[in-house]
Amino acid sequence: MKKCVLHDMFEQMDNVRMTKFGEFELPLHFSAGILQEHRAVREHAGLFDVSHMGRIRISGESACEYLDYLLTNDVRKMIDGQLIYSLMCYPDGTVVDDVILYRLDGKTFFMVLNSSNIEKDISWITLDNPHHEEAGLITVENLSESTSQFALQGPQSASILDTLGVDTSSIHRFSSLGSVSVSGVNVMISRNGYTGEDGFELYVDNKDAHHLYLSLLEAGRAFSLLPCGLGARDTLRLEARLPLYGHELSDEITPYEANLGIFVKTETTDFCGRTALLSQKEKGIERSLRGFEMIDQSVPRAGYKVFLQEELIGKVTSGMKSPTLGIFCGLMLITRSSNLKFNDSVEIEIHGKRKRAKVVKTPFYRRGGS
């Protein structure tokens, strides 16, 4: 079982529940519990240790062109300090991983990977993709075990960093600063998030991880910040309809099926999987990711079957009881031939019984609005 740098500190804290997540043992929640951690992020701020995520640096004269082939988004249009969300696809259009890419400068990029895919992704980037012979022109450094990553999320997150001397007004949404001093520690910082709220990611060498984390907690006391675990991270991201690899994305699901076509730039870049995705779009996308709300009160879980009358039309990819809205809801991957509209009814098989649900708009929660 892998452990992040702060693992032993978390284990010694009162009422922390640890859980297995892939190869890691991580906090599921701290003493306040999932519901309070969730609400803290929505109303104030929360601090997540997400050091289990993968982090790699890709550099070289041809790094931009190489990444433009590997990713569905347009890498060539990036400017220094910008970050983008993108998919990395197989030739058949299904997804290797969804990643965040930072452009540090014209020859150097930084990529954040899902923890369960680190080894697979690095192998794909360096050895397994159809243009792997060009990998010799770039350098790929795995920083996952030498660095830590924290996510400070919520409406008070900027104010917390400002008290520590960070000029957050200079960090715009989807931008980053490569070197900032936070409580005397050198940090790379960006403004993004996986919760539907304003927030920041902080990347730091492991030797400074304890000091930075504790400094953020201390600065956040005045702003009602709570340490948060995986439980709240999942409910927050699902309310905001943010995908989780292995659920809404996988090597059996394409970006179009996951309704992520906005991140697929077929018109400007010739990426791996482009031909297959263009063909899928031309022939007709057979499945679609849709939101649902339970009519019969019951908790929907990933993998539960979805029926339209007696026809099996798909499965739940993620489900929960929303802490913010108080409803049972989730996402389902269903056939488009069912032609379902908003408020149309389906049935979800839960513990052997069919429970009624209705199709609804997503995201379930949107910051500053309904």
Map residue 91 onto helix, strand or coil. coil
Tell me what pLDDT residue 1 has: 86
What are the angstrom distances between the C-alpha of 345 and each of 34, 59, 96, 290, 348?
Answer: 30, 51, 33, 12, 10
- H/E stretch holding 70 reads helix 63-70
- H/E stretch holding 234 reads helix 230-239
What CA–CA distance (Å, rounded) separates 72 from 95?
10
**What homologous superfamily does CATH list for 7-50+146-239?**
Probable tRNA modification gtpase trme; domain 1 (3.30.1360.120)
Most distant CA pair in the chain, distance? 62
| Segments of the chain scoring below 50 in pLDDT | 370
Tell me what pLDDT residue 62 has: 97
Is there a contact between 95 and 254 (Cβ–Cβ < 8 Å)? yes
Residue ranges of the chain assigned to CATH 2.40.30.110: 286-360
Peptide bond into 300 cis (omega under 30): no
Tell me what pLDDT residue 369 has: 66
What does 265-278 look like in DSSP terms, one character per residue? -TTT---TTHHHHH
Q: Which residues of 118-137 are buried (b: 16+ CB within 10 A; e: fewer)?
A: bebbbebbbeebeeeeebee
What CA–CA distance (Å, rounded) separates 144 from 23?
13
| Dihedral (Cα; 310, 311, 312, 316), 10-degree rounding | -80
What CA–CA distance (Å, rounded) separates 164 from 45?
15
Question: What is the 8-class DSSP label of residue 338?
Answer: G
What are the angstrom distances between the C-alpha of 190 and each of 150, 153, 161, 173, 356?
Answer: 11, 12, 12, 8, 42
pLDDT tens across 91-112, in order? 999 999 999 999 999 999 999 9
Cβ count near 208 (within 10 Å) = 19
Residue ranges of the chain assigned to CATH 3.30.70.1400: 54-142
Tell me what pLDDT residue 368 has: 81
Taking alpha carbons only, the member of 139, 141, 121, 132 closest to residue 69 is: 132
- Tokens 């200079």 belong to residue: 170
What CA–CA distance (Å, rounded) separates 13 from 6?
11
Cβ count near 38 (within 10 Å) = 26
Q: Select 286-360's CATH number: 3.60.15.10, 2.60.40.2480, 3.30.70.2170, 2.40.30.110.
A: 2.40.30.110
Taking alpha carbons only, the member of 158, 209, 186, 124 closest to residue 44 is: 158
Over the chain, what is the mean pLDDT? 97
Q: How close are the terminal C-alpha atoms of the chain, in Å?
A: 41
What CA–CA distance (Å, rounded) separates 182 from 158?
13
Radius of gyration over every alpha carbon of the chain, rounded to an integer in angstroms: 21
Give CATH for domain 54-142. Answer: 3.30.70.1400
Residue ranges of the chain assigned to CATH 3.30.1360.120: 7-50+146-239
Tell me what pLDDT residue 370 has: 46
